[in-house]
C-alpha cells in the first residue's frame, strides 16, 4: 500500500461520520457548519485515493475483428493498445519486487508478461511504449532465471536458441548477465527495452526498481484465440 492509499483510508474514516451527519442535516433542513466544505473535499479525496487502488479500471474494447472483450486492468496500468489480436499495457508499480511477482500479477488479471515473437511485434511495442509514450525502460516476459544462458518465454513459446525471434543488442553483445557469474545477487536474468540501447534492441537486467522513481515498469499482454480472451497458463 502506498502513502496516498493510506491517507485516503484515513480521510474516509474521519469524514464518513461527518458526511452522514451532513445528509441528516440536509434532510432535516438544518444549517451545516462551515467546516463541512473541508470535510467534503477530504471525503472526495478519500474516495479517489482508495478507489483508484482497489477498484480496477474496467474497460470493454474491441480487438481487431474479435467481439468485445472485458479486460480488468491492474493499478498502474497506464496506457494500452491492440495489435494482431493481442492487447498490451505498460504497468508502473511501486509494490512489485521481482519478475515472479510481476508475472503473478499479470496472471491474476488474465494476462502474462508480454512475449515478442516477431520483428513487427517488437517494433510495435518499442514504437508505442518507448518512442511515443517516452518510457525509458520496460521489462517483458523473457528470462533465463531457471538456468543461466537458457532463455525462455513465460508462455513457454520457443526460445531464441530454437530459432524464434530475438533482438539482443550486438555492440556490446547482450545478454551478458551484468558481467557477473551465475548466482551473484547482481546477475541479470530478465530481458527489457532500455533507453540507452539502440532502437528496438534488448538488454538483460535485474528487475530492480528505478532508484529515482522507486518503481518498476513492465509490459502485460492479453491473448485472444477465436475471439475469446484466453486464461493465463
CATH number at residue 135: 3.10.100.10
Same domain (yes/no): 68, 102: yes
Same domain (yes/no): 33, 146: no
Same domain (yes/no): 68, 183: yes
Per-residue pLDDT of the chain in tens (233 residues, 90 and over written 9)? 567 778 888 888 988 888 888 888 888 888 887 777 888 888 888 888 777 655 544 443 444 444 345 778 888 887 888 898 899 999 999 999 999 999 999 999 889 999 998 999 999 999 999 888 989 899 999 999 999 989 999 987 765 444 578 999 998 899 998 877 776 777 899 999 988 888 899 999 999 888 888 999 999 999 865 444 444 43
Same domain (yes/no): 41, 91: no
Three-state DSSP class for residue 97: coil
Same domain (yes/no): 43, 99: no
Cα separations (Å) of 188 from 23, 106, 110, 160, 212?
57, 21, 27, 17, 20
Burial of 139 (0-12, 13-18, 19+ CB in 10 A): buried
Terminal-residue alpha carbon distance, the chain:
27
Q: Name the nearest CA neighbour of 81 among 114, 103, 42.
A: 114
Same domain (yes/no): 207, 126: yes
Same domain (yes/no): 50, 160: no
SS3 for 24-44 is HHHHCCCCCCCCHHHHHHHHH
Residue-range definition of the domain harbouring residue 224: 58-229
Same domain (yes/no): 49, 65: no
CB 189 within 8 A of CB 206: yes
Q: Last residue of a domain, which of 11, 27, 54?
A: 54
Instruction: HSE, CB side, 13 Å, CA atoms: give it for residue 162.
Output: 9
Same domain (yes/no): 18, 125: no
Same domain (yes/no): 70, 117: yes
Same domain (yes/no): 128, 22: no
Domains held by the chain: number = 2
Same domain (yes/no): 64, 46: no
* Strand-strand pairing, 86-93 and 228-229: unpaired
Q: Last residue of a domain, which of 19, 38, 54?
A: 54
**How crowded is residue 211: how many other Cβ atoms within 10 Å of its Cβ?**
6
Q: pTM for the whole thing? A: 0.69
Amino acid at each position: 500500500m502506498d502513502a496516498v492509499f493510506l491517507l485516503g483510508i484515513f480521510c474516509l474514516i474521519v469524514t464518513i461520520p461527518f458526511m452522514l451527519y451532513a445528509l441528516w442535516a440536509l434532510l432535516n433542513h438544518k444549517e451545516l457548519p462551515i467546516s463541512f466544505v473541508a470535510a467534503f473535499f477530504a471525503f472526495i479525496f478519500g474516495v479517489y485515493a482508495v478507489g483508484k487502488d482497489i477498484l480496477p479500471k474496467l474497460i470493454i474494447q474491441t480487438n481487431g475483428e474479435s467481439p468485445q472483450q472485458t479486460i480488468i486492468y491492474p493499478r498502474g496500468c497506464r496506457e494500452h493498445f491492440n495489435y494482431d489480436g493481442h492487447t498490451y499495457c505498460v504497468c508502473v508499480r511501486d509494490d512489485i519486487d521481482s519478475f515472479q511477482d510481476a508475472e503473478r500479477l499479470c496472471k491474476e488479471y488474465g494476462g502474462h508478461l508480454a512475449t515478442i515473437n516477431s520483428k513487427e511485434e517488437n517494433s510495435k511495442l518499442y514504437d508505442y511504449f518507448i518512442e511515443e509514450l517516452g518510457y525509458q525502460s520496460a521489462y517483458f516476459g523473457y528470462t533465463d532465471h531457471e538456468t543461466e544462458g537458457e532463455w525462455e518465454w513465460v508462455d513457454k513459446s520457443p526460445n531464441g536458441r530454437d530459432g524464434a525471434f530475438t533482438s539482443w543488442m550486438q555492440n556490446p553483445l547482450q545478454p551478458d548477465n551484468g558481467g557477473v557469474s551465475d548466482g551473484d545477487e547482481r546477475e541479470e536474468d530478465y530481458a527489457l527495452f532500455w533507453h540507452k540501447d539502440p532502437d528496438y534492441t534488448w538488454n538483460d537486467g535485474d528487475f530492480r526498481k528505478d532508484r529515482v522513481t522507486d518503481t518498476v515498469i513492465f509490459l502485460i499482454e492479453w491473448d485472444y484465440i477465436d475471439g475469446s480472451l484466453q486464461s493465463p497458463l
